[in-house]
């Protein structure tokens, strides 16, 4: 169970992301610095209780239209070996001390728990409340359980998001730029082998939703 601490972070997560997002291949902003707000998301629990796992929806309000980005994050008490390329930054946590933040698509703990969520063996948890399930998150999976023994994520970023080969030959497409739809919950792409959806806080009390990840046959 992840224990949520309501305390200070220096720098904040959004301050780290303000510098990091424009360096990504899938970033759609212009030359201006992004103006980010935390709009929603959810968490997963690390069974060992060592790694914080968060899926944040960060909305950029600097352009003519709001753009919602999905940012999977992990937080660690020490650097992750071999993941320097995925390091977003370090923060000083008011309770836990120094924390290393990573792009979670490169962190095997996050990817393992995400695949467990997709196949229905790990629950989505509320972003800011300890030990509270997030029932707005929906998921599906067609096929055999994933064989995660010895699995190491090898994601690739491009303009369309992050593509992650998973055990069994499928590709997990992480939609970094979210496309809100009217259906609640949003419907996955036809022919998808699995998916994850949720909603987030929009303007004027609205609550848009989108497919966050789609599992496709390679």
Task: Give the pLDDT of residue 182.
Answer: 79
- pLDDT tens string, the chain, 218 residues long: the values are 566 667 677 899 999 999 999 999 999 998 889 999 999 999 999 999 999 999 999 999 998 889 999 999 999 999 999 999 999 999 997 777 799 999 999 999 999 999 999 999 999 999 988 889 999 999 999 999 999 988 999 999 999 999 999 999 999 999 999 999 878 889 898 999 999 999 999 998 999 999 999 999 98
Peptide bond into 159 cis (omega under 30): no
Q: Which residue carries 């959004």 as its tokens? A: 14
Q: Which residue carries 């290393």 as its tokens? A: 100
The total number of residues shown for the chain amounts to: 218
Confirm whether 2 is domain-assigned.
no
At a CB cut-off of 8 Å and minimum separation 6, what does 170 contact? 143, 193, 194, 215, 216, 217, 218
Confirm whether 71 is domain-assigned.
yes
Question: Max CA-CA distance within the chain?
Answer: 46
Residue 55 burial (CB < 10 Å; 0-12/13-18/19+)? buried
Q: What is the pTM of this model?
A: 0.95
Confirm whether 3 is domain-assigned.
no
Number of domains composing the chain: 1
Confirm whether 1 is domain-assigned.
no
Confirm whether 45 is domain-assigned.
yes
Q: The domain containing residue 20 runs over which residues?
A: 9-217
Helices in the chain by DSSP H: which ranges? 13-20, 108-119
Confirm whether 191 is domain-assigned.
yes
């Amino acid at each position: 169970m992840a224990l949520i601490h309501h305390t200070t972070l220096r720098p904040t997560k959004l301050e780290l992301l303000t510098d990091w997002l424009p360096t990504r291949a899938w970033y759609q902003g212009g030359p201006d610095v992004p103006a980010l707000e935390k709009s929603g998301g959810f968490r997963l629990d690390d069974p060992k209780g060592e790694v914080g796992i968060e899926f944040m929806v960060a909305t950029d309000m600097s352009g003519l239209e709001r753009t919602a980005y999905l940012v999977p994050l992990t937080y660690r008490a020490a650097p992750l070996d071999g993941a320097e390329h995925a390091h977003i930054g370090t923060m000083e946590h008011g309770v836990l001390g120094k924390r290393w933040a990573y792009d979670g698509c490169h962190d095997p703990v996050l990817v393992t728990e995400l695949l467990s969520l997709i196949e229905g063996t790990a629950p989505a948890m509320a972003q800011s409340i300890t030990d509270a399930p997030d029932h707005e998150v929906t998921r599906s999976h067609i096929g055999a359980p994933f064989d995660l023994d010895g699995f190491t994520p090898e994601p690739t970023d491009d303009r369309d998001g992050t593509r992650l080969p998973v055990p069994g030959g499928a590709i997990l497409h992480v939609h970094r730029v979210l496309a809100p739809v009217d259906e609640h919950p949003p419907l996955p792409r036809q022919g998808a082998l699995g998916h994850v959806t949720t909603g987030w806080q929009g303007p004027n009390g609205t609550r848009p939703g989108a497919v966050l990840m789609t599992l496709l046959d390679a």
